[in-house]
Amino acid sequence: MDKNFLNDFPILRSKMNRHQIAYLDNGATTQKPESVVRSICGYYGGCNANPHRGVYELSVRATKIYEDARRKVAKFINARPKEIIFTKNATESLNLVAYSYGLNNLRGGDEILITIAEHHSNLVPWQRVAQATGTKLNYIYLNADGNLSQADIDKKLSNRTKILAVTQISNVLGLVNDVKKLAAQAHEVGAVVVVDGAQSVPHIPVDVQNLDADFLAFSGHKMLSPMGIGILYGKRKILEEMPPFLSGGDMIEYVEEQATTYAELPQKFEAGTQNVGGAAGLSAAIDYLQGVGFDNIERIENDLTTYTISELKKLPYVELYGCDAPNKVGIVTFNIKDVHPHDVATILDAEGVAIRAGHHCAQPLMKFLGQNATCRASFYFYNTRRDVERLIEAVQKVRGIMHIA
């Protein structure tokens, strides 16, 4: 019997439209356990100060909280603390790489390779880099089961490829890409590998050294942490050679009127006052996740996903996407025939079931799938079979409410 996680998440015991909430939009953001909220409040109530800058005790405490969080994140993904840069979200992390690495290392004739399943945050920045540097942006397409086409990879990955940017888990299909294999293949042709870990780091153990990723971006808020804190991991050697991205306070060494030298890693990439409250929350979140354990997280999510898919498959008017591949994690995307996903979401909302409807910030993938929009249920370990039953019951009501025969 699993621990009743609901005890730690008051919001999951609350009501939405007079029903206990079944929160199935964890791909967008997760809820926060009490320990995380307590840690934020504890920070502001007892240690709040500007870190790095002050000699006095309060500031020393803030610095320690902030740097402890960095060490914790480093350990969590098997990196070194100097290789962990705090940002505001995964999107900023990816933009940092696009601006500081991309704009400065690409030139005409080079190519950037991404997949058609990328989130806009790992797509639009590369489009802009391609436009600014006159490089070509190529796409890896998918097999019928939703997985990356190896033939397409082999065709498009060449020694012109300077950057391979790939999500470890698609936020629409929930399929786990074999990033380790991809990275090895990309490194063979000399490309740098940027991994979007926004959907993977919260759900499966991620080891940057084992993957041999050059960069890994993810967001705190999708792994129990407060909003406003994201992470960029980068290999030390690469980060050291990159120019700063944002500039200003705390990332400098010496500033003269016409010239500036920059601080060492990781400060070089952290300009201005950082989100220490967010870091405090992130620390507590990692502690909580490690308490649960990835073996449990994977087991629970796998059970919920399999159960959902098998129940939805019983409904002839439901169409599923990417649900036949085995490398599937916690995300089920579907449509109800003749009903627009926004109407589905509204009807589910009235039943207290929170799912996401729309393009999921992946318009090129939607187009590839031939859909304008879809419904998405995404799980975290605190969800239960009861949540799935509520989802299925609500789905069964939809066509009736919509007056479809």
Partner 1 sequence: MLENIYTELIAEHSQSKENRRQLEHATTKERGHNPSCGDEITLELEIADGVIKDAAFSGVGCAISQASTDMMIDLMRGKKIDEAKRLAELFIDMIHGDITDDAELEELDEAAALKNISTMPARVKCATLAWHTLDTAIKGR
Ligand X SMILES: Cc1ncc(COP(=O)(O)O)c(C=O)c1O
Q: List, in sequence order, the alpha helices (H) in 134-244.
A: 150-156, 179-188, 208-211, 236-241
How near is the Cβ of 199 to ligand X at its closest, in Å?
Answer: 5
Q: Comparing C-alpha atoms, which of 288, 301, 298 is closest to residue 223?
A: 288
Q: Which is nearer to ligand X, 50 or 396 (CB)?
A: 50
Decide: residue 165, CB within 10 A, 0-12 exposed, 13-18 middle, 19+ buried: buried
Token digits for 274?
Answer: 């950082």
Decide: residue 147, CB within 10 A, 0-12 exposed, 13-18 middle, 19+ buried: buried
Q: Which is nearer to partner 1, 63 or 93 (CB)?
A: 63
How near is the Cβ of 274 to ligand X at its closest, in Å?
Answer: 8
Determine which helix (DSSP H) or strand (DSSP E) holds 385, and give its type and residue range.
Answer: helix 385-401
Contact 156, 166 (CB under 8 A): no
> CA torsion 275→281→287→288, rounded to 10°?
-150
Residue 202 binds which entry of ligand X, partner 1, its own copies, none, with Cβ cut-offs from 5 to 8 Å by kind? none
Dmax of the chain from CA atoms? 74
Residue 298 binds which entry of partner 1, its own copies, ligand X, none, with Cβ cut-offs from 5 to 8 Å by kind? none
CA distance 381 to 261: 46
Q: Which is nearer to partner 1, 136 or 359 (CB)?
A: 359
Check 41, 47, 323, 361 and give the catalytic one.
361
Contact residues toward partner 1 (CB under 8 A) are 17, 52-56, 59-60, 63-64, 252-254, 263, 339-343, 346-347, 350, 357-359, 366, 372-373, 401-404
CA torsion through residues 309, 313, 319, 325, sign: positive
Q: Which is nearer to its own copies, 80 or 120 (CB)?
A: 120
How near is the Cβ of 347 to its own copies at its closest, in Å?
Answer: 10
Phi first, then psi: what are they for 155, rounded to 5°? -75, -40
Q: Which is nearer to its own copies, 71 or 342 (CB)?
A: 342
CA distance 9 to 29: 14
Q: List, in sequence order, the alpha helices (H) in 55-99.
A: 57-76, 90-96
- The beta-strand segments (E) located in 153-214 are 161-167, 192-196
361 is catalytic: yes
Q: Which is nearer to its own copies, 56 or 314 (CB)?
A: 56
How near is the Cβ of 289 to its own copies at its closest, in Å?
Answer: 17
Q: Which is nearer to partner 1, 65 or 179 (CB)?
A: 65
Q: Comparing C-alpha atoms, which of 380, 284, 371, 382 is closest to residue 334?
A: 371
CA distance 364 to 369: 9
Residue 403 binds which entry of ligand X, partner 1, its own copies, none, with Cβ cut-offs from 5 to 8 Å by kind? partner 1
Work out the number of other CB atoms within 10 angstroms of the CB of residue 182. 26
Q: Which residues are catalytic?
A: 361
